[in-house]
Structure 1
Amino acid sequence: MEQEAFDSEINIIKQVAVNNGYEGTMVDTLVKVTRRKLDRAGVSKMQTKEPKKFRRMAYTGGTSEALMNDVKKAGINPAPYTIGKLGRALTNHKLTPRHDAMSSGVYRLQCSSPGCNGEYISRTSRAAAERWKEHEDTKRRIDNVSATIQQITMDLEEIDRLMADDMLAPQRPLLGRKRGELKKVLEKKRRTLSSYQHQSAFAKQLVQEEHEFRSAEGARLIHREERFFRLVGLEALEIFLSEENPQVTTLNDKSERVSPLYKRFLEWKNKNDFSESAVT
């Protein structure tokens, strides 16, 4: 460990010791005793290491792996990343008020892309912040799997082009086996993508439209509620109100939409005492 990193670790340990009722000098004493033991054992006090060199490189399959091996020979460590048309899910640096973020109930998610009026209504019996994070995580997984599917598709097209080349006729059996392996991987990735899409209809819509979502800006708990049947009713009411609002686009899929009969009931309830202010 370098001296600067070592001193930083010691300061952290001192702070932990003080927080637990110990004297900070106790840590200094233990460090000195440990160093004396290491000196007697013939271990050097501190190792000075040359910082490693890293180079950010796009990972696109076999070609990039060969390139990364060449970079390693030059003494540079590659830092691979996958290519996707959509950005990574953005980290939430803002804190949502605890009484909302840690409560169960019905929530509204709004698209964070400029000019988009899309919104999604759902319910959760857990802390709302946990469910919001799951939507963000699911979007990131869909992005990554979609990028992988796109790359495999491009690889299959390249293999097909090579197999059509008469000059590469002796290599066709090898290319055929490689093509079969990629087809299996592609089918597996497609099943994984389908699974992720079922986990969050909101994330699925965002990916299809190439839009973004940041829970710090677009997530809001509109009803705090723990009772299940009241949760279901409030969710149906808010989906109904969202569909009736001409200023927004409801992103809930068809399986989450409200039936016509229930809509009539909700319309009547909305005109009476089932407003948002009455149940929040």
Structure 2
Amino acid sequence: MRCLRTTTLGYSPCPNDTFIFCGLVQGKIPLSHVCFAEPQLEDVETLNSWAMQGSLDVTKLSVHALGYLLDSYTLLDSGAALGRGCGPLLVTAQATAPQAKGDLAAWTIAIPGQYTTAALLLRLFLPKSCRTVVVMRFDQIMDAVVSGQVDAGVIIHESRFTYQERGLLCVQDLGVWWEQETGLPLPLGCIAARKDLATEVLRETEQAITESIRWGYAHLDECRSYIRQHAQEIDDKVLTSHINLYVNDFSLRLGEEGRAAIQELLRRGRAAGVFTIPLA
């Protein structure tokens, strides 16, 4: 293989990402121009922050974060987390259920990172009411809601499948709200690459991710151990549900509808003044 350069790679430890990249990082996908370094697996907000610094060549991003990075990163057509019925959930404790449709402006709401798509969706859903937010890791939010540290939280990833077991109530499925507002699938995450990478590297990376997804579907049993190594939940039903929800035809190829959904989310973010705010 003629390697043009060593390419750094980052994605989250969530089952959809480890499923997507399993074949690629385990050497199952032939490559001609790309040599990937050992991948960096971090929560998506950490990856968002690293991308703000240009730290990784190819990385998973929240679509929200992409809105700040269009000058330096290009959206790849493969590897996205985008679909219907897959949105973040605004949840509260059952004890506060009677006021769940009340004055949300008085609530303190936990969000899973400043640059996550969940944070942007909450702002679009509650443009005048979302006053007090607390940023915390996605896997700490349910505990914070249950303990009363916050009044509500926006949950993502595996939490979507387990929140009811913690006695929590869904106040609003933000994906349902988005689909009702726009008629489009919800764009949550994407794979982006630095614009200064060689054209051959960009093209082959995009194709390799598509082939890795196809390999994963054909070799799911071989993927399971790699997925379990990094997952918050190890129950097979939860893992399978997670992959089925977030990995789909849009992951293989965004296509016109997928790109339209991303453009619409970023357009609404700009209209709300989100992307005019300087980065810290």
Structure possessing the higher radius of gyration over alpha carbons:
1
Structure with more of its chain in helix, by fraction: 1
| Coarse TM-score class (shorter-chain normalised) | under 0.3
Given the two structures, how large is their TM-score scaled by the length of structure 1?
0.20
Given the two structures, how large is their TM-score scaled by the length of structure 2?
0.20
Structure with more of its chain in strand, by fraction: 2
